[in-house]
Amino acid sequence: MLTELLTTESEAATREAVNRASSTLHTGEPVALPTETVYGLAADALNPTAVARIFEAKERPSFDPLIVHLPNKTAYKDVADVPEDIQKVFTQLIETFWPGPLTIVLPKKALLSDEVTAGLPTVAIRMSNHPVFTKIIRNFGGPLAAPSANRFGKMSPTSAASVMKELEGRIPMIVDGGACSRGLESTIISITAGDPKPAIKILRPGPIGPEELKKFGKVDKVIGNPAVEENAPEAPGLLENHYAPTTPLRLLESPQDFSPEEGKRYALLSYRGQEKDGYLDLADWVELAILSPGSGRLAEAGLRLFHVLRQLDELGVDEIVAEPFPARGIGFAIQDRLKRASIKSQS
């Protein structure tokens, strides 16, 4: 299959990309689209055959549910039920964070097929704020299932070129909307009523950090995603192994944790490249990749993480060594992704 790359470099090109992507989606084919978090592989969420094409292209196991994207804030009513006892906090959250990188798990409506939710009684929904994605989903006119546009177990793509590397020949179309502005997958939460405050569980850390969610309820940071893992007993821990480069990765807690082995080639993934942090002199690095040079900004580190990890992965070193990141704001999500990547390489 030929994979077409549509640009959005001019208004005319964008109009054409929007129309063509939308009509391809209507025929039941998947299309890779830019979002503010990472590139997604989108298909008509209400068409089980279209949804099956996503799983096929990604080689994704059927027990891993998809996120459903909405064309507007009120469209959640078409796919999910909001229990009365959380309606107030749900409304506050979507008024604050939508459109944006917050995904909320809710009881699903019957019309959503089991293919989308992997048989779970719940559905994960969000509304993207990417201008190109927004135009396409509005033109399409309904919910789109859209997991990250990578093959299963690989890192999420943050540019159209990375999608091409992952899925060329497997999907008909990619819309290039430039580099993603957040670069890390959305924060996923579930909400339950609580006394005196609602309880918000973070199922996957992301760009919206625990500090921002605290204003709306009692925040609980869950390690792993129990809703999904309980549903997939045949693959315990497998979902932990997401987000990993092929090269083994070691996440350090402090500089004392590491001394190089004779003859091995290492690359360093550094937060801000500062001597005083104590990592730069630990080895004769083949490559020193700095995510946010200078005093260090976590938002910049987050948006560059997967892009830089892909580059380091192509060097053919024996190991990628990662400095720890401050676990606040999006830094909590960066630490989460690096921990998962290092779990994979140790197993």
Closest CA to 156 of 133, 134, 182: 182
Among ligand AMP, Mg ion, none, partner that 298 touches (CB below 5 to 8 angstroms by kind): none
Reduce the DSSP state of residue 22 to 3 states and report it: helix
Choose one: 58-66, 297-305, 307-315, 321-329; the region binding ligand AMP (CB under 6 A).
58-66
Does position 64 interact with ligand AMP (CB under 6 A)? The reply is yes
**Minimum distance of ligand AMP from residue 277's CB (angstroms):** 31
Give the per-residue contact string, 92-131, with ligand AMP (x = CB under 6 A; - = no). Answer: -------------x-----------x--x-xxx-------
DSSP sequence for 173-236: EEE---S-SS-SPPEEEEEE--SSS-EEEEEE--SS-HHHHGGGSEEEE-SS-HHHHHH-TTST
Q: Does 162 bind Mg ion (CB under 5 A)?
A: no
> In 140-155, which positions are buried (b, 16+ CB within 10 angstroms) versus exposed (e)?
bebbbbbbbbbeebbb
Q: Is 232 in the site for ligand AMP (CB under 6 A)?
A: no
Q: Is 225 in the site for ligand AMP (CB under 6 A)?
A: yes
Do you find a cis peptide bond into 99, omega within 30 degrees of 0?
A: yes
How far is it, in rounded angstroms, from Cα 72 to Cα 66?
Answer: 18
Residue 34 Cα to chain centre, angstroms: 12
Contact partner at residue 225 from ligand AMP, Mg ion, none, CB < 5 to 8 Å by partner kind? ligand AMP
Interaction between residue 147 and ligand AMP (CB under 6 A): yes
Q: How far is the CB of 63 from Mg ion (least distance, A)?
A: 14
Residues that bind Mg ion (CB under 5 A): 147-148
Residues that bind ligand AMP (CB under 6 A): 64-67, 105, 117, 120, 122-124, 147-148, 185, 188, 203-204, 225, 227-228, 239
